[in-house]
């Protein structure tokens, strides 16, 4: 799955030939690059090291968008949000966490808010009711 980003994995900046270890290292190294606070690092590490899912195969990234400075689907805010949903923790708290982690990674307040509103809207209009 590595190297996919953007709409259905066909976005600009697409990377190929990466692997689980490369992606894991990139995520861990991002903590220092972006000066990520310890509490947010812990949230991302929980998603990376959980036995409840396989982050490398189960993460589908940020639906319909890609980050210009993150060339694969494993953008940490989206990885954590996918983890929350894959493990049954999706919903309002997950969406607030998604906003907060995006901000820590330098995504603007407006862009983070639009994305968080989008996943919240999908939650309340479709996902919550289909079960």
CA dihedral 50, 51, 57, 60 (to 10 degrees): -40
pTM, 2 dp: 0.79
* 58, 82 contact by CB (below 8 A): yes
* Residue listed under structure tokens 């396989």: 54
The three-class DSSP label of residue 47 is: helix
| Per-residue pLDDT at 73 | 80
| Per-residue pLDDT at 131 | 59
Which sequence spans correspond to the domains of the chain? 7-129
Q: pLDDT per position in the chain (131 positions), as tens?
A: 334 444 444 444 445 567 899 999 999 999 999 999 999 999 999 999 999 999 988 887 776 666 666 777 889 999 999 899 889 887 788 889 999 999 999 999 999 888 888 877 776 776 555 65
d(CA 86, CA 80): 10
d(CA 53, CA 41): 18
């Amino acid at each position: 799955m590595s190297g996919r980003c953007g709409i259905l994995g066909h976005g600009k900046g697409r990377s190929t030939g990466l692997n689980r270890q490369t992606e894991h290292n990139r995520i861990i190294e991002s903590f220092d690059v972006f000066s990520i606070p310890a509490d947010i690092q812990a949230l991302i590490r929980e998603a990376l090291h959980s036995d409840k899912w396989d982050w490398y195969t189960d993460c589908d990234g940020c639906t319909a968008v890609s980050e210009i400075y993150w060339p694969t689907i494993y953008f940490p805010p989206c990885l954590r949000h996918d983890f929350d949903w894959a493990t049954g923790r999706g919903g309002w708290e997950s969406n607030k966490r998604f906003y907060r982690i995006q901000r820590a990674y330098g995504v603007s307040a407006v862009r983070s808010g639009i994305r968080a509103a989008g996943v919240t809207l999908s939650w309340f209009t479709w996902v919550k009711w289909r079960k």
